[in-house]
Structure 1
Amino acid sequence: MRFSAATTAGRYLPQRLALRIRPLLGLIDAVLFSAGARGEAGRMSLIAFSVRIVSAVIAFVSQVLMARWMGSFEYGIFVLVWVTMVIVGNLACLGFHTSIIRFIPEYRERGMMAELRGIVRASRLFVLVASTVIAGLGALGVWLLSAHIENYYVVPFILGIICLPMIAMSDLLQGLARANSWALFALSPTFLVRPLLILAFMALMLLAGYAPDAKTAIFAAIAATYATTLGQLIGVTSRIDKRIPAGPMKLHFGQWFIVSLPIFLVESFFFLLTNADVLMVGAYLDPNDVAVYFATVKTLALVHFVYFAVKAGVAQRYAQFTHGEPQKLAAFARETVSWTFWPSLAMALLVLALGEPMLTLFGPEFSAGYPLLFLLVFGVVARAAVGPCESLLTMSGNQNICAAVYAMTLAFNIALSVVLIPLFGLWGAAMATVFAMIFEAGALSFTVWRKLGIAMVIFVPAKGAA
């Protein structure tokens, strides 16, 4: 007889409490006991959740140390450059890092091994070439516009561009690993190994006598990024070669690019939306304000990682259910909303309780960001309340309208930032971010309901779908 976590909770805990924790216990139950679709997605989500927990701790500790070593001004310069490089590196994949999560399971299930070999080989080559070209154009642009950029940003940005091809390749390799349900292999290089290496290389350079400034931190980031991505490339390639037998390849690059382009737009708008506040603060305020705002956002990582962990675990399963199993897709999608919302809400309360002492660790001036947490947390919880809607839309072939939603949300966010940041400073940035996130959550949930008939809202029952 099987005794699951969810069953035990329902029997021995007060009913109201059991209803609140059942979604999370259901996820644990799926990991421990389930087979098939639900078990695999639950396993991936819990692995991703665990990696995100460890990653959040590593990121927080490393950012505290970097801020302490460099001071808020130099730390703010490094933050703006690094965030920009991570964004552009992700966009340089042109959507292939996500579209392969859709194509690889499909080709494998249909026995289309030639196409499978083709997309695995072509995607890596394409991303490497595209990201290298974009890096070259970026360096040229910084050099041409150097007279219009604050001089303390010019050299760090040029140095940061060296990372772009490896950041892009790392994101593609993460997609290849996710498509094969290798959760640890997908997430650990980016979220565990790279930040630890950045911290280690930075510490070594300081011990060697280098100045504790943004340029030194970027050199550490370059070394860490190349070391991580090359190791990731060797590991993923080795595992793929063992899983896919040798044979002929078929290339459908036109089809892949047509599908990847709208996904690229979705990912671009989402990634820009996720980081637009930091970029807008950097455009209007000085590096000290960038540092305070970024530290505040990093403190919210404990809430954010729940959403990203569930998203990482369910995207591939969404893609499989879209092939003729609408009822299973609807039930599973509704379940992922609960997986996202309740843990996010618990983490949000924890962050609000511990936020001020956590920010003070960065330095006494960083405590100015604590009041912003009470506003920013509303946006994060609003996003969690609708689950990974964009993954559901993308994997069900509705990536075009998803891209349109993100385009509107990004435009809304930027417009609000342009108006509010000059008037209210960091509070203006926080307000713009929260309003945009609420708009995003509502628009995505409504789109899923109209296109798929699934009510992706935590407090709306499943029968509420048309």
Structure 2
Amino acid sequence: MLDAAIAFAIRVLSAGLVFGLQVLLARLMPLEGYGGFVTLWTWLLAIGSFAALGFAESSVRFLPRYRARGREAQVRAYWRYGLRAVVLGSLALAVLALILAFVLGTRTEPGLIVLYVAIGLPFLAVEYYLEGVARSFGWFRLTTVPVYIVRPLLIGAICLAIHFSGVPLTLPVVGAAVVGSMALVSCGLAIVLALRMRGASAEQKPTSATGNLWLRASLPLLLVSGLEDLLAYCDVLILSLMLPGEDVGLYFAAARALALTNFVYYAMYLVSGRRFALDMADADKSRLQRSVREASRLTFWLTVVAVVVTLAAGPILLRAFGPEFVAAYPVMAILALGHIARAASGQAGELLVVAGRQRESIFIGLGVLALNVALTVAFVLAFGLFGAAIGTALALAGRSVALAFVVRRTTGISAVSLGLPSMKKPRG
């Protein structure tokens, strides 16, 4: 409970910083330029987890159990093996993206966006992996502060300095600021984690069989995490392909105004995976059920509170971007209903990952993504921006139903619990 409260408080602060950054860029850039930045930012976040090859998620499965059983040599071996795999894998993907960028032409906006995605992808992949490692050890402030507080402050400071120097904030300029900030944060986080990991035993090296085990466990999670991110951003990605940049900017502003509700979900995600892993290491199913129940209740009710507060302040939040953005309030309201529907299943998705149910997670992710794409395209053709919000909300509701059903069937754990959360401090 305390860990979740700390993570939530940090993410609330982060929500304000990220929102302020988006408002700053919307004010300083022309609307079509801001739409291009939104497209770049969304593509980076949507495919960044693919480049981490699933090691961010598998670290939460393996590292808490290794540490609970005193296997510190395996902890350090996993850390080194995973970092090496993520760096090599992300560089390979970056080369492919670079080729595509030059095929499209870097003087065109699509080619320029792909170029920046290629440059930023390795840094973002390492960042995802390091977040997973820190989360697996319960270092929640290290997981959140560099990425969600330091990075937006860096981007904002760089963009303000450029603006006051008289240089226009165009897409190439802002793209360079974003990628440079990602590089600084990921390198700094890697140094801090490396220093913290020095205390673990370095005597034992992973055998090829152990490395293969980690790789086999991680690669399916590449699809799980990647599909989750695509689901989170596919509405914006589809809009970027179907509607002008101005409309994409309006929709993105509505989605960013709901960032607080997303951060509630993420705060519980940060602490739940480790808790589930420790309960499974002790083979205590009753305690696991209690942990899942409390995670579900906290996720749901904190999301409801966040949605109510955010919608009440919605017109003010949207007007901060500019007067024209207030027209996106109905989009914001529809998306809010989708966030509540997603929260109803609590942290069922994280439970499947920790339990090693990657295949079921992949099937759910593929099914929900296909549903989201189909609904969003159909509704965008019929209703424009509002259609994207409707399709996304319906897909999130379908995700909750599918996760709750599969978790119950495969683990015997009930993932949906809408009662008020307990204030008792859980074990561990």
Structures share fold, TM-score greater than 0.5: yes
Residue 298 of structure 2 corresponds to which residue in structure 1? Answer: 339
Is 1:175 matched with 2:132?
yes
Is 1:293 matched with 2:251?
yes
Is 1:245 matched with 2:204?
no
- Counterparts of 1:49 and 1:450 in 2: how far apart (Å)? 31
- Counterparts of 1:113 and 1:228 in 2: how far apart (Å)? 27
Residue 155 of structure 1 corresponds to which residue in structure 2? Answer: 112
- Counterparts of 1:145 and 1:411 in 2: how far apart (Å)? 27
Is 1:123 matched with 2:82?
yes
Code of the residue aligned with 2:66 in structure 1: it is Y
Residue 239 of structure 2 corresponds to which residue in structure 1? Answer: 281
Is 1:309 matched with 2:270?
no
CA contact (8 A) 1:117 1:250 kept: no
Code of the residue aligned with 1:256 in structure 2: it is W
Kindly report which structure 2 residues correspond to 1:33-432, keeping only aligned pairs within 5 A, or say none. 42-146=1-105, 151-242=108-199, 244-251=200-207, 252-323=210-281, 324-432=283-391
- Counterparts of 1:60 and 1:89 in 2: how far apart (Å)? 21
SS at match of 2:415: coil
Unmatched runs of 5 consecutive residues or more in structure 2: 421-428
Residue by residue, what CA displacement relative to the aligned partner does 1:68-113 show, whole Å, maximum 9, x if unpaired?
0002110110111111112222210110011011111122223333
TM-score by length of 2: 0.94
Q: Greater CA deviation, 109-118 or 62-71? A: 109-118
Q: In the TM superposition, what is the alpha-carbon distance from 1:150 to its structure 2 partner?
A: 9.9
Residue by residue, what CA displacement relative to the aligned partner does 1:438-457 show, whole Å, maximum 9, x if unpaired?
00011101111111222222
CA contact (8 A) 1:201 1:223 kept: no
CA contact (8 A) 1:160 1:218 kept: no
TM-score by length of 1: 0.87
Residue 4 of structure 1 corresponds to which residue in structure 2? Answer: none
SS at match of 1:236: helix
- Counterparts of 1:267 and 1:236 in 2: how far apart (Å)? 22
Which of the two has higher C-alpha Rg? 1
Is 1:444 matched with 2:403?
yes
Q: In the TM superposition, what is the alpha-carbon distance from 1:330 to its structure 2 partner?
A: 0.6
Among the aligned pairs, what percent are the same residue? 33
Give the aligned length. 418
SS at match of 1:455: coil
Code of the residue aligned with 1:143 in structure 2: it is F
- Counterparts of 2:64 and 2:413 in 1: how far apart (Å)? 23
- Counterparts of 1:396 and 1:155 in 2: how far apart (Å)? 41
- Counterparts of 2:165 and 2:232 in 1: how far apart (Å)? 36
Note closer, same or farther for the CA distance 1:253–1:246 as it changes in structure 2 (3 Å cut).
Answer: closer
RMSD: 1.7
- Counterparts of 2:419 and 2:325 in 1: how far apart (Å)? 39
Q: In the TM superposition, what is the alpha-carbon distance from 1:45 to its structure 2 partner?
A: 1.4
Code of the residue aligned with 1:434 in structure 2: it is A
CA contact (8 A) 1:86 1:164 kept: no
SS at match of 2:416: coil
- Counterparts of 1:335 and 1:136 in 2: how far apart (Å)? 44
- Counterparts of 2:186 and 2:348 in 1: how far apart (Å)? 29
